[in-house]
Every structure is written in structure tokens, then in C-alpha cells.
Amino acid sequence: MVRSIFFILAVVTVSGLAKTSSSSLLSPNFYDYSCPAALPAIRRVVEDAVQKEQRMGAFLLRLHFHDCFVNGCDGSLLLDSTDTIESEKLGAANLNSIRGFDVVDNIKAEVDHICGRPVVSCSDILAVAARDSVVLLGGPSWEVQLGRRDSTTASKDAADADIPPPVLDLPALIDNFKKQGLDEKDLVALSGGHTLGFARCSSFRGRLYNETNIDPTFARHLKYACPTSGGDTNVSPLDETPANFDKKYFSNLVENRGLLHSDQELFKSGGFTDGLVKLYSENIEAFWFDFAQSMIKMGNIKPLTGDEGEVRVNCRAVNY
């Protein structure tokens, strides 16, 4: 797909947006002197992982999202449980659902080898891997702000409270994002990440059998993979092109073919979010621009910087 001047401007412009006081210490050039080969190394490992399994791109994007929504973008999601830490991996939105931790391990090992020591934080690895995954699957690029440090703790309770489940109505979604400093445009644009990947039957069965604002042909097809009982782990694509970062997700919402209840809530009431969904369904460059801007804004949620936190040696454990 040819990328227009509008898209080129998107890549340049969004790099300077969505700054907060703590995130002002972040910079896309953070590793230029300490390890200039770091970002190319991350991309190589991500590219290899996505080539082996295209679904991995969606998982890596989701890891960054789920990390940032729980006490900020600090790599807390990656920590395994210990005597003093109950891992966020055990949260309802994460357990037996998200993957990609082994890819993060591989990235960390490669980057530390290239850099000669632990220089790049695990939280920065998540941010860069998410961007690289989107690009590899045909989506936009953006300058990732860098310099985050890693947390020394995690919170399963916060993961259960703050990661939005697929059953939320629009007002609850808006409130959930507002809690993170994100607005309605961010909600719709970031939800566009669901143009990648799959969802389990258990996450959309309620919509499939109980809701009326769903295309009948679409619903009939889904029922083969998601019966009224059983088949909880059966998966269906979030749109027809689950390995392409396109605008099909939004086109589906306009046609009442959103897979998740929370997705279809974005196009239902005739309000502001409806207008954005319609715009993105017709103009992929508008979607890409806003998605890139919102990814930078999300990546700026409460980062640890300076002397806060640490740069982990092992992304799964705090340093001792």
C-alpha cells in the first residue's frame, strides 16, 4: 500500500505529542549513545517471531497495552510470582490468554548480548516490540519514546481492576480509559488494535446469543465455533484479516459485525465514538495517524524514569 504525505506527516508529527511531566524524560534517542544497535536488534527478533507465527504480532501489541494499563508502562506484567509478588499474568484478562513472554525473553537476551550489558529496560522492549509488530503486519510506524525503567513489583489485583474486560458498555469503557489519562479518541483508535488477532469463544458468547445488534449471517457463522456450552477456548478472528493492520475492524463495526460486546459498543449510540468509527472505516490514514498518536500517549502512562525502578537483568524477576 502506498503511504501518502498524510501518513508521512503522521510518523513525524506524533513523535512530539502526548507528553506529561514524567514522560518528558523519555526520548526516542535514549539509547543512541549507550547502545545504538539496540532497536535494530529488537526488530530482528520480533520479525523472526512474527514470521514464524503471525499471531505473535497481536500478542506483543497486547502485552504493551496490558502492561501500561496496570500502574503504568513499567514491565510489571512480565514478572513471575514469588513469595512477595502475585503475578499480573494470573489476572483474569491475562491467564491462559496472553502469550509472547518467551519472545520478550529472546529479545532481552539478544539486546543484552549486543549491548554488552543490561542497558535496555524490559518496559522499553515491550514498547518497541509493539511498534515493530504493527509495522511488520502492514500498519503505521511511530517514534517510540524510550528511557522507561522497570518496576520491582506487580499487582494482580490492579490487573483485574484496570484491564478492561470485553463485557464493558461504552460509559464504562470511557471511564476506564479516562482513569489512564486517555480520552474517547484514544479509546476508539487503540481499540483498532483489534484488527489483529483472535478472541476466545468465552469472551464473545454472551454477545453472540444475547444481543440483537449483531448481523444475523455473522452470528450464524460464529455459532459453529462457539456453541451455547463447551468450546470456551475455541477462537475466532477479531476481523477477517487478523494478520493485517487494516481498517476492516471498523468496517465490521459499522455493519454490526463486531466480535466483542465492548467493540460493538463503539458504534451503537450515534455519539462521538460512532463518528470516529465511521471515519476510520473509510480512511485508513486517519486511523493510522490517530492510532500512532494514541500509542505514544499510552506509552507515556506513569513511566518510571531516572533513578526510579531498575533495568532488569531478567524480565521475569526483579534484580537482587
How far is it, in rounded angstroms, from Cα 243 to Cα 138?
9
How far is it, in rounded angstroms, from Cα 245 to Cα 287?
10
Catalytic residue, chosen from 66, 113, 194, 261, is: 66
- State the DSSP H helix or E strand holding residue 67, giving kind and residue range, or none if neither: helix 55-68
How far is it, in rounded angstroms, from Cα 288 to Cα 265?
21
> The C-alpha cell of 312 is what?
532488569
Which of 85, 88, 92 lies closest to 75 in space, CA to CA?
88
User: DSSP class of residue 151?
Assistant: -
* Whether the Cβ atoms of residue 122 and residue 116 lie closer than 8 Å to each other: no
113 part of the active site: no
Q: DSSP string spanning 167-183?
A: T--HHHHHHHHHHTT--
Torsion (CA) 205, 211, 215, 217 in degrees, nearest 10: 50
Q: Which residues are catalytic?
A: 66
